[in-house]
Amino acid sequence: MRSVRFVSLVVVVCVLAACGPAVTPTPLPPAITPTPNPDIEASSIDQVAGVWAIRLAGGGENDPAHFTLAEDGSYAIDAVGGYHKGMHIEDGKYWFDGGVMKLETDMCQRSDGEWFHCIASYQVFVAAEGGKPVRLRMVAIDDPRTTDRRSSLNGKTFAPAEP
C-alpha cells in the first residue's frame, strides 16, 4: 500500500511539475523603426537656392539675417533685425565642386582690419518637400572668415526665411 501511495505521490508531483503555473512571457516592446534622415548631401545650386533665415554670430549679436543663395550662383548675407538691421554683411559667388560648396568673396577681413579675397568650403545637407528645399545644414571644411561667417553658418541648420 505504501508503494501505491508513493507512486501516486510521485505521479501527482510529476504532473504538477510539468503543468506548473503558466508562465506568461513578457511581451517585447514594439520594434523601433528609425526615421530615415531626409537630409541629403547637396551637390548643386538648384538643391540649395533660396533665402535662408540665419543668426549673425561672432560680432553679429545673434541678430536675424537672410542668407540668399541665388540660382545664378551669387550669394549675399543681409541683416534684417536687431542692431545690424539693414546692413549688408557680405556677398560673393558660390558653386559646388565635388560635392563641396565653395563661397568666394572679397569681403574677408584679417584681424588687423585688412580686407582680402577668400574662398570657403562647406559640406551642405538639404531636405526638400515637394521639390523645394525646406532645411539647410552647413558644416565648415575650411573658412578663412572665421570670426563672423563661420560662426554664423558652421554646424547650423536653417529654414527658409519668411517673406
For residue 33, is pLDDT > 50?
A: no
Q: C-alpha grid cell for residue 122?
A: 562647406
For residue 67, is pLDDT > 60?
A: yes
Alpha helices in the chain (DSSP H): 2-19, 45-48, 151-153
Average pLDDT over residues 65-75: 98
Q: Is residue 14 part of a domain?
A: no
Q: Is residue 53 part of a domain?
A: yes
Q: What is the pLDDT of residues 71-120, one digit of tens each?
A: 999 999 999 999 999 999 999 999 999 999 999 999 988 878 889 999 99
pLDDT for res 87: 95
Instruction: In whole angstroms, give the CA distance from residue 30 to residue 21.
Output: 27
Q: Is residue 35 part of a domain?
A: no
How many distinct helices (H) and strands (E) make up the chain? 3, 9
Q: Is residue 124 part of a domain?
A: yes
User: 61 vs 106, which has greater pLDDT?
Assistant: 106
Average pLDDT over residues 39-51: 95
Q: Is residue 133 part of a domain?
A: yes
Residues in contact with 55: Cβ distance below 8 Å, sequence separation at least 6, in sequence order = 62, 63, 64, 65, 152, 156
Q: Is residue 7 part of a domain?
A: no
For residue 18, is pLDDT > 90?
A: no
Domain with residue 145: its CATH number is 2.40.128
pLDDT for res 9: 43
Q: Give me the phi and psi of 103, to 5 degrees please.
A: -115, 120
Number of domains in the chain: 1
What's the gap between Cα 24 and its chain centre? 44
Instruction: In whole angstroms, give the CA distance from residue 83 to residue 135.
Output: 26
Q: Is residue 6 part of a domain?
A: no
pLDDT for res 155: 93
Per the structure, the complete domain to which residue 109 belongs is given by: 40-160
pTM for the model stands at 0.74
Q: Is residue 32 part of a domain?
A: no
